[in-house]
Structure 1
Amino acid sequence: MQPLLREDKPPERPAPDLDALRARVATLNARYRHHGATAVLEGALRDPEAGRIAMVSSFGAESVALLHLVAMVDRSVPVLFIDTRLLFAETLAYQQEVAERLHLTDLRILRTDEATLAQRDPYGGLRLGDPDACCALRKTLPLEAALDGFDGWITGRKRYQAATRAAMEFFELEEATGRIKVNPLAHWGPEDVRTYMEENRLPKHPLVAQGYPSIGCAPCTSKVAPGEDPRAGRWRGQDKQECGIHFVDGRPVRNTK
């Protein structure tokens, strides 16, 4: 499948009516508060309050569980995969394997165009001096452009993954963009993910067995020792916990430990 090459600047979006969006999110959370992941997904894709929804997937360590759930509900849901050009070769191969196995019919591969990369990160060293700027250039920029026209997006985030996610709801308002984020697996724990993958015989990311329980770009991901937090290998030694595509109060989440 050909990648979608994005321009340097995402299209301008009209200022969102935050009060109306907050009310929509509150309605959705009240409506689906006691439902399971599949019902939340069905609601996100069919409920008029949710609007037009895409899925964003890293095809990482646990991604296949949610991808499988989405495929069972509607294989035609747009699935956005950001290729930063710094991913592990294993991730790229796994992405192709999973997409083919689940028969995803609208996979969109996103990349920042080469001219913009050459201008802003000509030697590929931006990640060393300013990892936030690197994530913004290689992840946030192409994702924002690809999400233009969508009212929200499905994520695989879960409460157990970080303190910043501990109170996460099924539906959230990303006030910085005016989009609704859908977190169908918010209440799942590690055992829920493992059980679902085993029961459905879903392929595992090959790097998980090598000690990578959370997988991002190759230069910024390291192995995790037994007993460490699963995300300890992401930006190890840096005051950084998220790649920047997720926001709290309009700002990228920083490490709060």
Structure 2
Amino acid sequence: MVTFQTVSEQELKHLNESVLKEKDTVDVLKWAYETYGNDLVYSCSFGAEGVVLVDLISKVRPNATILFLDTNLHFKETYDLIEKAKKKYPNLNIQIIQPELTVEQQAEEHGDKLWERNPDRCCQLRKLEPLEKEISKYVAWISGLRREQSPTRRNTQYVNMDRRFHSIKICPLIHWKEEEIWMYIKLNKLPYNELHDNNYPSIGCFHCTSQVAEGMDPRSGRWANSAKTECGLHLPGNSDK
């Protein structure tokens, strides 16, 4: 089994350039679950890519574990979508995890509206630390990253070393284009976040997500008033080819 502790750059290269090179998303998912079984988890934010992956995973591993990180600051539409997903995929093990601090406790310890004053620290407390704690229980995890989403993601491979979580990060959707994501959603009549219909292409916490004007970068609505473009989960330094 390929693990963070034992994998070499040569093994990763062999996997990505030989074993999985000509494979499609379903093949990659089958390989991942055959390789890791219950030691593999999908951390899902239930964006457009997320609902596609949940549907595909349900076909490959009907009882797979899906994690959703509830920062307690999501849009109502996001919570509504998760309930729809639970009903559509009753066999999937959809788990909701939360930060150690409530929003009120965070305000008491770090000051009010930390997401405005120090968004990196807010993401650290409400996203990265709880995910790190949970993902550390598994050998590998699945992410819905696509190469065309941003410059920081264009070198993502099917199988990556995740240095932040000391695990293997598997990204089955790296070659998908946005139109393919939406074609799959429409053809399969999948539930999706209704905010996508109102110029919210990338959806996170409601304080840090805004609408995007037509023709703008799809991720320009995330942390729009700062230089921040990633929560820190997928920064290039965290994951290597």
- Taking structure 1 as the reference length, the TM-score comes to 0.84
Which moved further from structure 2: 134-143 or 114-123? 114-123
Question: For residues 18 and 117 of structure 1, do their structure 2 counterparts lie closer, same or farther at Cα, with a shift above 3 Å needed?
Answer: farther
- Alpha-carbon distance in structure 2 between the residues aligned to 1:60 and 1:17: 27
Q: Which residue of 2 aligns with 1:204?
A: 192
Moved over 6 A (4+): none
- Alpha-carbon distance in structure 2 between the residues aligned to 1:35 and 1:85: 38
Deviation at 1:237, TM superposition (A): 2.5
The answer on 1:234 being equivalent to 2:222 is: yes
Deviation at 1:62, TM superposition (A): 3.2
Q: Which residue of 2 aligns with 1:78?
A: 65
- Relative to its length, the structure with more helix (as a share) is 2
Letter aligned with residue 145 of structure 2 = R
Q: Which residue of 2 aligns with 1:248?
A: 236
Residue 144 of structure 1 aligns to a residue whose secondary structure is helix
- Alpha-carbon distance in structure 1 between the residues aligned to 2:157 and 2:76: 33
Q: 165, 170, 176: which is aligned to 2:158?
A: 170
Q: Which residue of 1 aligns with 2:207?
A: 219
Q: Which residue of 2 aligns with 1:60?
A: 47
The answer on 1:20 being equivalent to 2:7 is: yes
- Percent identity between matched residues is 33
Letter aligned with residue 93 of structure 2 = D
Q: 151, 159, 172: which is aligned to 2:147?
A: 159
Letter aligned with residue 82 of structure 2 = Q
Question: For residues 37 and 197 of structure 1, do their structure 2 counterparts lie closer, same or farther at Cα, with a shift above 3 Å needed?
Answer: same
Residues 21-75 of structure 1 show CA distances to partners (whole Å, capped at 9, x for unaligned) of: 5344334323111100000011011126x98210000012332111100111112
Letter aligned with residue 99 of structure 2 = T
- Alpha-carbon distance in structure 1 between the residues aligned to 2:205 and 2:236: 22
- Taking structure 2 as the reference length, the TM-score comes to 0.89
Conserved 8 A contact 2:12-2:160:
yes
Deviation at 1:99, TM superposition (A): 2.4
Conserved 8 A contact 2:4-2:161:
no
Q: 112, 116, 120: which is aligned to 2:99?
A: 112
Residues 163-215 of structure 1 show CA distances to partners (whole Å, capped at 9, x for unaligned) of: 11112111111123321111100000011111111111112211111111110
Question: For residues 51 and 33 of structure 1, do their structure 2 counterparts lie closer, same or farther at Cα, with a shift above 3 Å needed?
Answer: farther
The answer on 1:42 being equivalent to 2:30 is: yes
- Alpha-carbon distance in structure 1 between the residues aligned to 2:206 and 2:131: 19
Which moved further from structure 2: 64-73 or 19-28? 19-28
- Alpha-carbon distance in structure 1 between the residues aligned to 2:71 and 2:8: 31
Question: For residues 58 and 69 of structure 1, do their structure 2 counterparts lie closer, same or farther at Cα, with a shift above 3 Å needed?
Answer: same
Residues 75-111 of structure 1 show CA distances to partners (whole Å, capped at 9, x for unaligned) of: 2111010000110011011111122212243111110
Gaps of at least 5 residues in structure 1 are 1-15, 252-257
Q: 62, 68, 79: which is aligned to 1:92?
A: 79
